[in-house]
Structure 1
Amino acid sequence: MSKQRQYTLISLILLIVLGLGGYFWRDDSPAPAPALKHTYAKALAMAHNGQPGAARVLYQQLGRSDLSAIRRAGLYAELPNYPSPLALKLANRDLQHDDPLVRRAAIASIQAMLPGAQRSLALGPLLDDEEQSVRFAVVDALLGLGPDDIGLYFGPLQHTLEQYQQVLAQQTDDPAAQLHLAQLYLHENSLKEAAAALDKTLQLDPDNLQALAVKVQLLERQEQTDASRKVLADALQQRPDSAFLQHELGHWLLRHGQDEYALLAFARALELEPDNNEYRYTLATTLHQLEQVEPAQKQLETLVSRDPANRKARVLLIEYWKETGQMQNVQVLLAQLEQLNPDDPLVQQGL
């Protein structure tokens, strides 16, 4: 056989071997189904936008076992607007999830769905979680509850709170950590320690408006009313168009019995940030407190129309309609809520 024919034969054999290798070694595992990805995105969008059937698809996605941790956590951000026994079951199950991100997301969701003592019973066991960030998330979720609500977990909670404070205290160059430390101390009424952490925060970040708000609360707790008012006044003089500061001024005025002036501040905050749902909700509750029921209802109607998923606003509007005996409007809102989540406790309760 000539050398040329030998080379040709060898080349053909190599091509056959490479072809067979490509056949046997190719990846036969199915590619991620585009429809499945779309299902997740669609479910998240439906829940966020308050579309009919949102609860059902949200629960279906949380029932999956193949979601990434960050996607699963994203679903839990929406779950508090869709409470039900199944929602709590899903969240409780994920308190044992392998990924701390998911456990923390489930904790935040349960915090929003459960009142005092029930929340403590659900989350208290995680004060022994192996992951520090999860234990600290439980502290944040249980802060503000009374000893009776915390019950058997009072001791473990205090122990973990002290650890939390120690860790934050070591982060001396992080204004967010120092601010949170000040808030934890303020919760515990440790005013001297709170003041020190707050001073450190403002040294690191002098324009931190949230820190200024906490400073106002601290001064009030220290019975320095004039000083707290001056802090707010000085800040507003520098930033007259700050919706946040206007909102804080409204709360300060409410705390000091000046409800009508508070209403003006809340209205100004909403004027500056008309898309802020929190500001609109606060304005509505203040209007109602001042017996301006119809304007309060209109603010909540606007809020629900802009944010149909906002269960808190919808439930409050139902209460306001009931107060004025406008049961037809109540029935409409309940029907809409049933479309969103037929297992919602308020739907089950009915009129």
Structure 2
Amino acid sequence: MSKPRLYTAISLCLLIVLGLGSYFWRDDTPNPGPVQAHSYAKALARAHNGEPGAARVLYQQLARDDLSPIRRASLYAELPNYPSPQALKLASNDLQHDDPLVRRAAIASISALVPGPQRSLLIGPMLDDEEQSVRFAAVDALLGLGPDDIGLYFAPLQQALDQYQAVLEQQTDDATAQVHLARLYAHEKNYEPAVTALERALKLEPDNLQALATKVRLLDDQGKTDPSREVLARALQRHPEAAFLQHELGLWLLRHSQHEYALLALARALELEPDNNNYRLTLATTLHTLEQVDVAQKQLETILARQPANRKARVLLIEYWKETGQLQNVQILLAQLEQQNPDDPLVQQGL
């Protein structure tokens, strides 16, 4: 073989070897970024919309260790609609997450998932968290519990509560902080500093509806019925089209056992804000109290038509249909719930 041909053959062999090497040595692992992002978005949408298999894909996403804190926290906003031992385990594990945002989200989720005593056992240790915002989130989650439910965490809760109040006391130019401070004091029936905090809030923002509603409840809790009614009436005169205040009026009337009048206010609130499912839920329970069961059921059906993931509305509708003997409708709702979350305690309980 002539030298030119020999060199050509050697060159071809080298090209073949290099080509084969690059084929065998290349990294065939697909880029996980776009696929994972898509699966996350899809799982979040399925959970939010209450689609079949929602709980499974939600749990799968929470089992990942590569999600950003904000994405992980967004998943926890949906978790209370999908209770199960697995859900509680995932949330409990994330109480130890590195990011405070995730720990706070897990606390909020557990608060909605479990009853008092068990909630105290899970969240109580977070009162000693190194991050102040997490400690305060634990306080908010435990405040509604009685001393017996709080148990061994009563002293740490009081200590963290004192710190929380001290921090909010310094935020005198923040109306939202002052309203929250007033609620913390009111929970302890410490009314004088609660009133002071509300006065600061209303001085900053005279038409702050949250502050006005808190003032109404604060006066009501002290047995000052007439002053609380006057505050609410003046607020409604200034803001007659405020759905929030109409709803607060309904709640005030419910507290004073005036259910028929409350019904008018609650219906008005929903008329002003028809997409507010919380208002519709309150209206449904009030209708049920007044033995208007059919209308109450229709309100709950409307919620589920718009928000199939709303477990609270689904559970209430199941209860109301059981009361009226509509077991076929109960079975339909349970079957839908089983499609969403086969491990839901209500599904396990059955009829």
Q: Confirm or deny a common fold (TM above 0.5).
A: yes
Amino acid at match of 1:205: E
For 1:238 and 1:208, the matched residues in 2 are separated by 12
| Distance (whole Å) between structure 1 residues aligned to residue 175 and residue 240 of structure 2 | 24
Residue 3 of structure 2: aligned partner: none
Residue equivalent to 2:192: 192
Alignment match, 1:147: 147
Q: Separation in 2 of the partners of 1:221 and 1:270?
A: 26
Give 2:49's aligned residue.
Answer: 49
Report what 2:122 is aligned to: 122
2: CA distance, partners of 1:94 / 1:107: 9
For residue 202 of structure 1, what is the aligned residue in structure 2?
A: 202
In 1, Cα distance between equivalents of 2:338 and 2:223: 48
For 1:78, what is the secondary structure of its paired residue? helix
Distance in structure 1 (CA, Å) of the matches to 2:30 and 2:155: 51
Percent of aligned positions with the same letter in both sequences? 77
For residue 58 of structure 1, what is the aligned residue in structure 2? 58
Match of 2:72 in 1: 72
Distance 2:321 2:175 in 1: 44
Q: Give the equivalent residue in structure 1 for 2:252.
A: 252
Alpha-carbon distance in structure 2 between the residues aligned to 1:52 and 1:101? 29
Q: Show structure 1 runs of 5+ residues with no match.
A: 1-27
Aligned counterparts, 1:1-351, within 5 A: 31-351=31-351
Match for residue 18 of structure 1? none
Instruction: Give the deviation of 1:198 after TM superposition.
Output: 0.4
Name the aligned partner's letter for residue 346 of structure 2: L
Determine the structure 1 residue equivalent to 2:23: none
Distance in 2, matches of 1:183 and 1:30, equals 52
Report the residue type matching 1:298 in the other structure: K
After TM superposition, give the deviation of residue 30 of structure 1 in Å.
6.8
In structure 1, C-alpha distance between the alignment counterparts of 2:287 and 2:222, rounded to whole Å: 30
CA deviations 1:285-315 (Å, max 9, x no partner) are 0000011111001100111111000000000
Cα displacement (A) at 1:223: 2.0
Deviation of the 1:113 alpha carbon: 0.3
Question: Which stretch has the larger CA shift, 129-138 or 217-226?
Answer: 217-226
Give unpaired runs (5+ residues) of structure 2.
1-27
- Letter aligned with residue 269 of structure 2: A
1:90 deviation in Å? Answer: 0.3
Root mean square deviation of aligned Cα: 1.3
Report the Cα distance in structure 2 between the residues aligned to 1:268 and 1:325, rounded to whole angstroms: 31
Listed one character per residue, the Cα deviations across residues 289-343 of structure 1 (whole Å, up to 9, x for unaligned) are: 0111110011001111110000000001000000011000000000000000001
Residue 32 of structure 1 and its aligned partner are, at CA, apart by 4.5
How many Å separate the matches in 2 of 1:197 and 1:34? 49
Partner Cα separation in structure 2 for residue 204 and residue 107 of structure 1: 31
Instruction: Name the CA distance, whole Å, in 1 between partners of 2:83 and 2:221.
Output: 36
Aligned residue in 2 for 1:5: none
1:159: how far off?
Answer: 0.7
Rounded to whole Å, the distance in 2 between the matches of 1:253 and 1:274 is 21
* C-alpha distance in structure 2 between counterparts of 1:32 and 1:349, whole Å: 40
| Cα shift at 1:31 | 4.6
Q: Provide the C-alpha distance between the structure 1 equivalents of 2:43 and 2:29, rounded to a whole number of angstroms.
A: 26
Q: Which amino acid aligns with 1:132?
A: Q
CA distance in 1, matches of 2:224, 2:147: 28
* TM-score after normalising by structure 1: 0.91
User: 1:302 is matched by which residue type in structure 2?
Assistant: T
How far did 1:29 drift? Answer: 9.7
Distance 1:272 1:223 in 2: 30
* Cα deviation, residue 221, structure 1: 2.0
Whole-Å separation in 2 of the counterparts to 1:232 and 1:187: 21
Aligned equivalents of 1:222 and 1:349: distance in 2?
42
